[in-house]
Amino acid sequence: MGKRKAKAKVKPKRRAPPLDTTFTCLFCNHEKSVSCSLDKQSGVGNLHCKICGQSHQCLITALSAPIDVYSDWIDACDAVANQAKEVDNINDQEAYSPEAAYEEEKE
C-alpha cells in the first residue's frame, strides 16, 4: 500500500489595493488636488480641484469608480480642445480663402 498524497496548502489571495480618489489637476497640475465624490443614489459623480476651483460633474452607474469620473473629465477637456481647434481652422480658412482674395483684386 502506498502513502496518501499530501494536500497542497491554499495560498491566500492578495487583496487589490484601494483605488485613488484624489488626482492631479489638468489645469493647475497640482498633484492630489482633485477630489472625487460619487453620489450613487442620484447617479452623479463630482470632481473639484482644491487649488484652482475647477469642477466637473457627470452621470455614473452603480459600477462606476472615482477613476471613471476623472477619465470622463479628461475626455471632456480633450473634446473642448479639439472643438476649439476646428473653429480656429475654419476661421483661418475663411479669413485667407483664395476666392476672397481674388474677388478683392477684381474690385
Q: Which residues sit in the known binding site for Zn(2+)? A: 25, 28, 49, 52
Annotated binding site: 25, 28, 49, 52
Distances in whole angstroms, Cα of residue 12 to Cα of each of 9, 18, 56, 72: 9, 18, 40, 35
Of residues 71, 56, 80, 81, the one with CA closest to residue 19: 71
Closest to 45 in 3D by CA, of 37, 35, 53: 37
Contact 80, 87 (CB under 8 A): no
